């Protein structure tokens, strides 16, 4: 049995990802990245991407992830916030630990493709010359 089937097939995956996309859109840290963007299109591509790595019947049909995300200039901290939201949603939907670990590992591996190699923190302060 595939991870996709264990999650309840298309209906189960759709339910999880609907929660996930809506949660990201409403998030106080990363929600602004979704302003003015087509929620249903984002959801469709999230479902396709997840279905593909979970063993489902759908494959990803969108543009390359790097091309889509480059203009957004997503910082590493913002990507990591996405991952925190994903983990919370997977936990809330009672996704089994083994599936969650594989899903998180898959999405974490996309960090360098989706985000800029810059943290969301100011540079370290420099000692003043006296």
Task: Kindly compute the dihedral angle of the four CA atoms of residues 55, 61, 65, 70, in this order, to the nearest 10 degrees.
Answer: -160
Using DSSP's 3-state secondary structure scheme, residue 83 falls into helix
What is the pTM assigned to this prediction?
A: 0.83
Angle at 12 between CA 9 and CA 14, to 5 degrees: 105
pLDDT at 117 over 60: yes
Average pLDDT over residues 69-95: 86
Average pLDDT over residues 73-92: 89
Greatest Cα pair distance, the chain, in angstroms, is 68
43 confidence band (pLDDT: 50, 70, 90) = very high
pLDDT of residue 58: 75
33 confidence band (pLDDT: 50, 70, 90) = confident
CA 35 from centroid of its chain's CA atoms: 16
pLDDT of residue 111: 78
CA 87 from centroid of its chain's CA atoms: 10
- CB–CB of 32/65 below 8 Å? no
Task: Count Cβ atoms within 10 A of the Cβ of residue 82 and give its class: 0-12 exposed, 13-18 middle, 19 or more buried.
Answer: buried
Task: Classify the phi-psi angles of 55: left when phi > 0, otherwise alpha if psi is within -120 to 50, otherwise beta.
Answer: left
């Amino acid at each position: 049995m595939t991870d996709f089937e264990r999650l309840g097939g298309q209906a189960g995956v759709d339910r999880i990802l609907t929660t996930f996309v809506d949660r990201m859109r409403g998030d106080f840290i990363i929600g602004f990245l979704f302003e003015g963007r087509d929620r249903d299109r984002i959801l469709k591509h999230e479902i396709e991407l997840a279905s593909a790595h979970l063993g489902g019947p759908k494959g990803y049909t969108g543009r390359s992830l790097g091309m889509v995300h480059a203009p957004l200039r997503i910082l590493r901290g913002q990507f990591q916030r996405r991952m925190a939201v994903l983990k919370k949603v997977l936990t809330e939907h009672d996704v089994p630990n083994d599936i969650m670990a594989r899903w998180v590992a898959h999405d974490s591996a996309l960090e360098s493709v989706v985000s800029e190699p810059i943290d969301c923190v100011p540079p370290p302060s420099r000692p003043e010359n006296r």
